[in-house]
Amino acid sequence: MNNLTISPESLETEYAVIGAMMLDNQALIKALDILPSSDCFTNPSNQILFRTLQKMSADGVQIDTITLAKALKKEGLYQMAGGATQLGFLASKISTASYVEIHARILLEQFIRTKLNQVVTEALSKSLNEKEDVFEVAEFVQKSISDVMTNNFKSNDLTMQERIELERENRLRKIKNGGAGISTGCKVLDSLTGGFVPTDFWVLGGRPGSGKTSWMTTAIKNLSMAGIPVGVVSLEMNGEQITQRILSNISDVEAIKLRNSNTLTDADLKRLTHYEGIVAKLPILISDPATIRVQSIRTKAHIWKRKFGIQVLFVDYLQKISGSNVNFKNINRDQEMGEVSSTLKAIAKELGITVVCLSSLNREVEKRSDKIPQLSDIRESGNIESDADQVLFLMRPEYYGLTGNFLVDNQEYPVDGLAVGSLAKNRHGSVGEFPMRFENKIMRFSDYQSGQSFGFTQYPKQIASSGLKEFDAF
């Protein structure tokens, strides 16, 4: 139902838009590109006219007052739209279609404002009702506002010529930047995927002890050290623990010493003092709620993108996120996970960022001799496999007590400090396995061949001059 307030000014704007759409085909296209539906109009006859013009445009019908009248009569809507009097009024009222974009945006703004007012009014009513769960009310507000904004902005539909020009621009940018996306810090993984590409949704899976969180904190450290703003939503570890992991990763001070503190040496304390000043300046945002619904992550991501310009969002972890439906009796867990994964993918596309979500795996992995995970091992998978652009699994042979050598991509490697990365899905290229090193004491991953911590060849001047390279080869 449309509850827009009718005013003389809004009616005049509506007449201007409808008249321009009747007068000029380019104006028609511009208006249809801005206005999502006839609900943006308050006057019932204008709503009918907009829908009819929309259908005529889709059918490729040349539009003038005669063809419009014919289309209205065919649908039995001629008199409801105002008949000859209204069509004549609109045709004579508009002499130019030059301002159709301005007028259409005014209508869109009025419509969105009214929808937001409706959300606020309903939210106020709910919040004053003590029988309503306040957290469910907050979720209602977040989802409703997100729906208003998502459903009422038209996508940028482009012609092939425009897309070719955009592709050319992107190709030149990739050549200049050395790749399609931001480096993951792992050279082999970058060669397979192009790095963290905007709009991509990654799933990072592994059994407990495989190193998922350590891989995440290694990536967070390296991205932020390169001046790339990163957001982290962690339901697994609190902010203090993540900070300790990053500090251990960058300073080489053992993680267990940081956690316990009473075994820190003078040398450790000196290193920590040095690196705390560096870590404090890194562009990392951490949220560590005990529970969260996926719409709250969406809202938070939009705020972080707008205020801080995040380029990569890490979420730890998938199975701890709730869907937006508060009545869990009506949906199963796979359906809920399907909503969560599709929303995370939508966040990546909406904001033009990479979303990396950690995921737990079921016990089927343990039954295999090589312990390498498969896509079917993702717990409560829902639509995760189809939504994800990349699925990366981690496995550490040492964790399973394996000894000797381990076969990775047809080559044997000693299991001591070995971590196996298995790219099980890659929407943009090939899949495969590759070796990495894992330094358990400082929770850090590194390239296997060079032994260097995942990282970049260059850092911002303020980082490079901080003394970092004295301790770490990036």
Query: pLDDT tens digits for 167-213?
Result: 676 666 555 555 567 888 888 888 889 889 999 999 999 888 888 99
The rounded distance, in Å, linking the Cα atoms of 377 and 205 is 9
The rounded distance, in Å, linking the Cα atoms of 148 and 337 is 23
Helices (H) and strands (E) in the chain, counts: 17, 13
The rounded distance, in Å, linking the Cα atoms of 441 and 443 is 6
The rounded distance, in Å, linking the Cα atoms of 428 and 436 is 22
Using 50, 70 and 90 to split pLDDT, how confident is the model at 474? very low
> Long-range pairs for 242-245 at CB < 8 Å and ≥24 separation?
242/217, 242/286, 242/288, 243/279, 243/286, 245/213, 245/214, 245/217, 245/443
**Lowest-confidence region among 222-231, 315-324, 353-362, 432-441:** 315-324
Query: pLDDT tens digits for 214-226?
Result: 999 999 998 998 8
Residues 243, 247, 253, 257: what is their CA dihedral angle, to the nearest 10 degrees? -10
Query: pLDDT tens digits for 293-313?
Result: 887 888 888 888 888 889 999
Alpha-carbon dihedral sign for residues 221, 222, 228, 232: negative
**pLDDT of the residue at 271:** 85
Could you tell me which residues come within 8 angstroms of residue 453 by beta carbon, excluding any fewer than 6 positions away? 185, 218, 222, 249, 444, 445, 446, 472, 473, 474
Which amino acid, one-letter code, is at 428?
Answer: H
Alpha-carbon dihedral sign for residues 430, 435, 440, 446: negative
The rounded distance, in Å, linking the Cα atoms of 69 and 87 is 8
Contact 140, 123 (CB under 8 A): yes
**Residue 159 pLDDT > 70:** no
Contact 196, 184 (CB under 8 A): yes
- What separation in angstroms does the CA of 199 have from each of 51, 162, 355, 410, 452? 33, 19, 8, 33, 29
**Lowest-confidence region among 13-22, 329-338, 386-395:** 329-338
**pLDDT of the residue at 463:** 40
Query: pLDDT tens digits for 395-421?
Result: 998 888 888 888 888 888 998 889 999
**pLDDT of the residue at 170:** 63
The rounded distance, in Å, linking the Cα atoms of 296 and 137 is 12
**Lowest-confidence region among 9-18, 36-45, 250-259, 376-385:** 376-385
**Residue 119 pLDDT > 60:** yes
Average pLDDT over residues 351-358: 93
Task: Give the burial class of 86: count Cβ atoms within 10 A of its Cβ; 0-12 exposed, 13-18 middle, 19 or more buried.
Answer: buried
- What separation in angstroms does the CA of 298 have from each of 252, 322, 355, 431? 35, 12, 11, 29
Using 50, 70 and 90 to split pLDDT, how confident is the model at 232? very high
Helix (H, G, I), strand (E, B) or coil at 416: coil
Max CA pair span of the chain:
91
**What are the structure tokens assigned to 62, written together?**
């040349």
Is this model's pTM higher than 0.85 or not? no
Which amino acid, one-letter code, is at 94?
Answer: I
Contact 355, 349 (CB under 8 A): no
Instruction: Find the length of the chain.
Output: 474
**Residue 381 pLDDT > 50:** yes
Q: Omega of the bond prior to 275 within 30 degrees of 0, cis? A: no
